[in-house]
Structure 1
Amino acid sequence: MKFDMPLHELKEYKGTNPKPQDFDEFWGRGLQELSQQSLDYELIPAKFTSRVAECYDLYFTGVGGARIHCQLVRPKNQIGEGPGLVWFHGYHVSSGDWVDKLGYAAEGYTILAMDCRGQGGLSIDNSQVRGTTLKGHIIRGIEEGNPEKLYYRQVFLDTVQAARILFSMEHVDADRVGVYGASQGGALAIVCSALEPKIKKTVAVYPFLSDYKRAWDLDIANSAYEEIHYYFKFIDPNHEREEELFNKLGYIDIQHLAERVKSQVLWAVGMEDQICPPSTQFAAYNKIQSPKQMKVFYEYGHEHIRTFGDKAHSFFSDLLDK
């Protein structure tokens, strides 16, 4: 890896982006607000049908009144409680095709795949904030004085609400639930397991939303973090608010939540990843205190990683056992 650190340095790296002094209080308030949210949801039979699974569009009301959509795929003719998985998607897109979930459903998992509010799926982002909404969601709400207006603060709480809804389903064993995602989805998997300690297994593939200052120190103009570049270029070209910006982004930096993770973690990193650079990922991974394993793929970037899907499947398989 020429543009980032060598592996031996990555294994020791603990991050650059500052952590706000009131970080724990910030997320304590968020979880308190979330505790007031109902776990009620609406189920609508999906147009997609399968011989092995029941498929539904599920809607719930998230913090701030947003309408959040998920795909619910559960085994047909299930007897008793089974394991569950919460899936999170990549940046800008959606929870994907129904057929993607059928293999896991056929083995007995119930899958709840959440659409992030205001992205490519059916969830609605109803937040009203000052400042730009162009070029990405990291900086949505950054112009507000109150960091509780940050877009990702709301999405992070949505992940926990989705998990708790899955816990509440009568056919799901709340003690056998895992989370999975890649890129943005990988970040949200880490966040969900950090904020909801009942999660048992976490699979994160090259997570996004970590160590923003380090991403800035690298060439972020062509990465998933490009909106920070655009923020400075068009809104703060003299960097007069640089310290304030990175401190505020610290509230939604997964490296600062990582030490809260209680679940077992399986993480995949591509050493040629210039979209979510390895150092930004190791900043979070190195702070996880629970049982964890990092799979290093030396010739891969931010792309489909051959063989890792099988590894994730095997990692989750313990959830099938009572």
Structure 2
Amino acid sequence: MHTSHLLRALKNQSIFLILVFFSISGTSFAQIPRQYLDITVSPVNQDWTYTLGEKVEFSVSVTQSGRPIPVENVRYFVKEEKMNPIKEGPLVLKEGKASISVEGMKKPGFLRCEVFATVDGKEYRGLGTAAFAPEKIVPTVLMPSDFDAFWNAGKQELAAVPMDPKMVHIPERSTEKVDVYHVNFQNVKNSRVYGVLTVPKGEGKFPAILQVPGAGIRPYGGDLAKAARGAIVLQIGIHGIPVDLAPEVYSNLASGALNGYWNFNAQDKDLYYYKRVYLGCIRAVDFLISLPQYDGQNLGVQGGSQGGALSIITAALDPRINYLVAYYPALSDMTGYLNKRAGGWPHIFADSNLKYYNNPKVVETLTYYDVVNFARILKTPGFYSWGYNDDTCPPTSFYAAYNQIKAPKEVFVIPETGHWTYPEQGVKSDNWLFEKLKK
């Protein structure tokens, strides 16, 4: 569903965003960063959506403290996501406003207008994105003939590994309503999965939620809020390292040994970094269902970006999951760039990476890990949310996956959002998930 009325209401109040990766300690909030110079770029259609070939007009407003001010070097360009500009040039403002008209796309996708202006030597940027028949976007990635066999073999490999769970109670983090634990358990290749478990106190059995992380290397604190609401919650990291180390450990790994981990061994489908990650998510499900407090029948998974991908993937691979929530899933239709359109994060075939990774082995490997192919086999009901202004995970890429889903699905679109969400999206998705899990 499109939600332009909600969008207009949100603009008139103080709003906060859920952090990009949706994965730190429950639902994290911070103020939406505002620029000294506010550049607003909006397609004039109310829901930012157009029919194929329909002409689009972008409305531009450049203000400071709500009023137009003198600016320099105002320029714009219009392009299909991540592609070269198809129209560009200087922009003349009249009382801080302008409009840009451009021919519409003849094929399904997204057309983005970016505007730049300079004040006191600093350049500022604004963008708006028009959708053209997004429900008709088809994927470029192919399905391997042995896709199911490959992942069934991986699950058999995992099943042969003892779980060997370890739990350490954290009294200083626990509350009157929730117990908090650091946990870890064994995964494939002599690795372990580390995470934070939050369990409601009291009698009875509880539904469970697996929270899978966005990209990066960081500590985790546990989701006490959802546990207090009556669900067991397990937040996991994906790198096989404890999640309670000093901050400098993670920053050193991010700039050193794990820098660019998403590309590690991409030429070999059996050694690719994400194979251990995907199987580790299944092992996290093994751990959750083993808990005596689990109700035995209600299990969800949720995440954003890389975590949105892992939500879909884990649910597709593991029928024990009943419901999923995914925000702007990464790792979707990654071969888009090879077909002259945007591909999903981590943009392995973008121009800057093409000379390193454009070979048949990498293309073959990624077909086993692309969200599109998991979407094709997904049977789990899901709730999805995103916007059109996402620079990190282009909507072309995640619509390519979303459109393949045959399972029951609900999508909550707020077009102006990028690689972040309003709290209303988090509230709506959490309410959806808890309603399902507590039926």
TM-score range, shorter chain: 0.7 to 0.9
Aligned match of 1:225: 346
Shift of the 312–93 alpha-carbon distance from structure 1 to 2, 3 Å rule, reads: farther
Mean CA deviation greater in 250-259 or 6-15: 6-15
Aligned match of 1:127: none
Q: 2-side partners of 1:179 and 1:192: how far apart?
A: 8
Shift of the 254–20 alpha-carbon distance from structure 1 to 2, 3 Å rule, reads: same
- CA RMSD in angstroms comes to 2.5
User: Which of the residues 68, 81, 86 maps onto 2:193?
Assistant: 68
Matched, 1:263 2:380: yes
Note if contact 1:82-1:108 (Cα within 8 Å) is conserved in structure 2. Answer: yes
**For residues 244-259 of structure 1, what are the structure 2 equivalents within 5 Å?**
244-259=361-376
Q: 2-side partners of 1:273 and 1:51: how far apart?
A: 40
Aligned match of 1:141: 265
Normalising by structure 1, we get a TM-score of 0.85
Mean CA deviation greater in 81-90 or 17-26: 17-26
Measure how far apart 1:165 and its partner are.
1.2
Aligned match of 1:126: none
- Letter of the 1:288 partner, please give it: I
Secondary structure at the aligned position of 1:104 is classed as: helix
Note if contact 2:193-2:237 (Cα within 8 Å) is conserved in structure 1. Answer: yes
Matched, 1:277 2:394: yes
- Letter of the 2:325 partner, please give it: V
Secondary structure at the aligned position of 1:68 is classed as: strand
**For residues 76-155 of structure 1, what are the structure 2 equivalents within 5 Å?**
76-77=201-202, 79-94=203-218, 96-98=220-222, 101-117=223-239, 121=243, 135-144=259-268, 147-155=269-277
Note if contact 2:333-2:370 (Cα within 8 Å) is conserved in structure 1. Answer: yes
Measure how far apart 1:256 and its partner are.
0.2
Q: 2-side partners of 1:133 and 1:246: how far apart?
A: 24
Q: 2-side partners of 1:50 and 1:193: how far apart?
A: 31
Measure how far apart 1:94 and its partner are.
3.8
- Letter of the 1:74 partner, please give it: V
**For residues 171-186 of structure 1, what are the structure 2 equivalents within 5 Å?**
171-186=293-308
Aligned match of 1:289: 406
Note if contact 1:272-1:298 (Cα within 8 Å) is conserved in structure 2. Answer: yes
Note if contact 2:192-2:240 (Cα within 8 Å) is conserved in structure 1. Answer: no
Aligned match of 2:94: none
Secondary structure at the aligned position of 2:429 is classed as: helix
Secondary structure at the aligned position of 1:93 is classed as: coil
Aligned match of 1:3: 80
Shift of the 256–160 alpha-carbon distance from structure 1 to 2, 3 Å rule, reads: same
- Letter of the 1:277 partner, please give it: P
Shift of the 320–28 alpha-carbon distance from structure 1 to 2, 3 Å rule, reads: closer
| Residues 120-158 of structure 1: per-residue CA shift (max 9 Å, x gap) | 9469xxxxxxxx9775233211234xx111111110111
Matched, 1:59 2:184: yes
Aligned match of 2:318: 196
Q: 2-side partners of 1:225 and 1:56: how far apart?
A: 32
Secondary structure at the aligned position of 2:379 is classed as: coil
Stretches of structure 1 that go unaligned for 5 or more consecutive residues are 124-131
Q: 1-side partners of 2:219 and 2:233: how far apart?
A: 11
Note if contact 1:94-1:116 (Cα within 8 Å) is conserved in structure 2. Answer: no
Greater share of helix: 1
Matched, 1:27 2:151: yes
Shift of the 174–261 alpha-carbon distance from structure 1 to 2, 3 Å rule, reads: farther
Note if contact 2:193-2:241 (Cα within 8 Å) is conserved in structure 1. Answer: no
Greater share of strand: 2
**For residues 32-47 of structure 1, what are the structure 2 equivalents within 5 Å?**
32-46=156-170, 47=172
Matched, 1:315 2:432: yes
Secondary structure at the aligned position of 2:286 is classed as: helix
- Letter of the 2:328 partner, please give it: Y
Greater relative CO (CA pairs within 8 A, separation 6+)? 1
Secondary structure at the aligned position of 1:262 is classed as: coil
Note if contact 1:135-1:227 (Cα within 8 Å) is conserved in structure 2. Answer: no
User: What count of residue pairs does the alignment treat as equivalent?
Assistant: 302
Q: 2-side partners of 1:120 and 1:183: how far apart?
A: 22
Normalising by structure 2, we get a TM-score of 0.64
Q: 1-side partners of 2:261 and 2:342: how far apart?
A: 19
